Chain A
Amino acid sequence: MESFVYTLFIVVLAVNALIAIYGIVYRRSLIKKLISLTILSDTVFVAIILVGFIFKYPVVPPVYSGVEGEEVFLLEHASDPLPQALVLTGIVIGLAVNALIAFGIIQIYRLTGTTDAKKAVKVLVEEVLEE
């Protein structure tokens, strides 16, 4: 059963990544490209968490609460703190990049009146030709 759940995790993550890459490459709306990008980054984060996860009941966060003899229990049942710390860093960087991209898309919309990638380029090129 653990084996099945583990495999299911990996297969679902792969499908998710494929859908996200499809969205980034083939969708023309910039908003949908951004959404696909966030799906892709979240998929990668879950994959990193999976590296430090254990398939055993119960899985607890690596936090001491001050009970006697807790070390042995945590060694057996705690998840790996290192991937979680890395993902925390990754989420912050991803959020910063997403915020910047969102501002960029809003600016493109203000300048061209559309969020469609091809139409926006068309509008900008026409403006340059007019000048």
Chain B
Amino acid sequence: MSTRVLVLLLLLAGILLTTLTVTLVLRPEAPLSIRGLGKYYVVYTRQNTSSPEAVTAIVWDYRGLDTIYETVVLYMAIIGGLALSTTTRKIALKTRIGLTSIARTATRIIVLLIATIAASIALHGHLTPGGGFPGGSALAITAMLIIPVYTLQSLLDQGVSSTRLVAVRGLALTALGLVAVLPVFRGLEAVTNLKFYPSHVAGMLISGSLWFYNLFEFLAVASGFAAVALYLSIPEEFYREEIRGVRGGE
């Protein structure tokens, strides 16, 4: 028996023994009901925010300002990553080989499915579990799927460049900030929800500003992560040359 398996077995046995001992000796009580604050949120979110989904209501209404700054943190991290990988020349790679036509057809179908599901996660964020961030991450998966199957160059030929993606990301972030700031011009507080935004549009529940936040967060996260995927997939040799060129030029 190898050492790894032995260590794993010892670890599992230790966990089980400790758990049994603690259960029998200390008798900890598992929580059977949530705390008072949680009960408040479960009962009152629907009246206060008109959103049936309590988590989205907390994220974008009760703590909306917090979430907007969190999005800014994400943006700064992506900008930092791109700054580390900045290149001065255009990508000199012209391969269009990719994978077989079976993989291409399958990818085409799967990408459509992923995009649909991502949109539904984001746009139904105020009704069901999900929201802008999970939806955007799901949409960014399509870029990661297309790059190995169709190659980076074909994506660039379609006009999907990292500059444009970062531009989309910036526009979406600006729109997000506008949604938060617009109520101020009417003399209300920033991140006001139902006093400024309508709860229903054409008979459909959109829960005021929550739907707009989810939409713009969806666009911002998707384009940001797609840009990261593009930068990470630039081949290694290209960067080596780039670094050598910069050092030689100094």
How far is the CB of A18 from the nearest CB of chain B, in Å?
Answer: 10
Whether A85 contacts B240 in the complex (CB less than 8 A), given A52-B34, A79-B34, A93-B74, comes out as no
Whether B23 sits at the interface, judged by CB under 8 Å, is yes
Whether A80 contacts B35 in the complex (CB less than 8 A), given A63-B53, A103-B80, comes out as yes
Interface stretch, picked from B41-49, B114-122, B149-157, B177-185, is B41-49
Whether A24 sits at the interface, judged by CB under 8 Å, is no
Whether A124 sits at the interface, judged by CB under 8 Å, is no
Complex partner residue of B22 from A11, A80, A97, CB under 8 angstroms: A11
- CB pair B19–A11 under 8 Å, yes or no, is yes
Most chain A CB neighbours (cut-off 10 Å) among B22, B28, B46, B77: B77
- CB pair B42–A81 under 8 Å, yes or no, is yes
Residues of chain B within 8 A (CB-CB) of A89 are 59, 63, 66-67, 70
- CB pair A104–B41 under 8 Å, yes or no, is no
- CB pair B18–A11 under 8 Å, yes or no, is yes
Residues of chain A within 8 A (CB-CB) of B20 are 4
Whether B31 sits at the interface, judged by CB under 8 Å, is yes
Nearest B residue to A56 by beta-carbon distance?
A: B32
A89 to B228, CA, bound (A): 20
Q: Mark B224-250, 1 if CB is under 8 A from A, else 0.
A: 000010001000100110010000000
Whether A96 contacts B77 in the complex (CB less than 8 A), given A61-B129, A63-B53, A79-B34, comes out as yes
A12 to B26, CA, bound (A): 17
Most chain A CB neighbours (cut-off 10 Å) among B22, B42, B43, B63: B42
A116 to B209, CA, bound (A): 48
Whether B92 sits at the interface, judged by CB under 8 Å, is no
Most chain B CB neighbours (cut-off 10 Å) among A62, A64, A104: A62
Whether B38 sits at the interface, judged by CB under 8 Å, is yes
Nearest A residue to B38 by beta-carbon distance?
A: A80
Q: How many residues of B contact A (CB 8 A)?
A: 57
Complex partner residue of A110 from B29, B46, B128, B240, CB under 8 angstroms: B240
A88 to B71, CA, bound (A): 12
Q: Mark B1-29, 1 if CB is under 8 A from A, else 0.
A: 00000000001001100111011000111
Interface stretch, picked from A28-36, A38-46, A68-76, is A68-76
Residues of chain B within 8 A (CB-CB) of A110 are 236, 239-240, 243
Nearest B residue to A79 by beta-carbon distance?
A: B34
Residues of chain B within 8 A (CB-CB) of A2 are 30, 32
Whether B148 sits at the interface, judged by CB under 8 Å, is no
- CB pair B73–A63 under 8 Å, yes or no, is no
- CB pair B81–A100 under 8 Å, yes or no, is yes
Q: Mark A94-105, 1 if CB is under 8 A from B, else 0.
A: 011101101110
Whether B58 sits at the interface, judged by CB under 8 Å, is yes
A6 to B29, CA, bound (A): 8
Chain A contact residues, CB within 8 Å of chain B: 2-8, 11-12, 15, 52-56, 61-66, 71, 74-76, 78-82, 84-85, 88-89, 91-93, 95-97, 99-100, 102-104, 106-107, 110-111
Closest 9 CB pairs of A and B: A80-B38, A96-B77, A64-B52, A81-B54, A6-B30, A103-B81, A85-B58, A55-B30, A2-B30
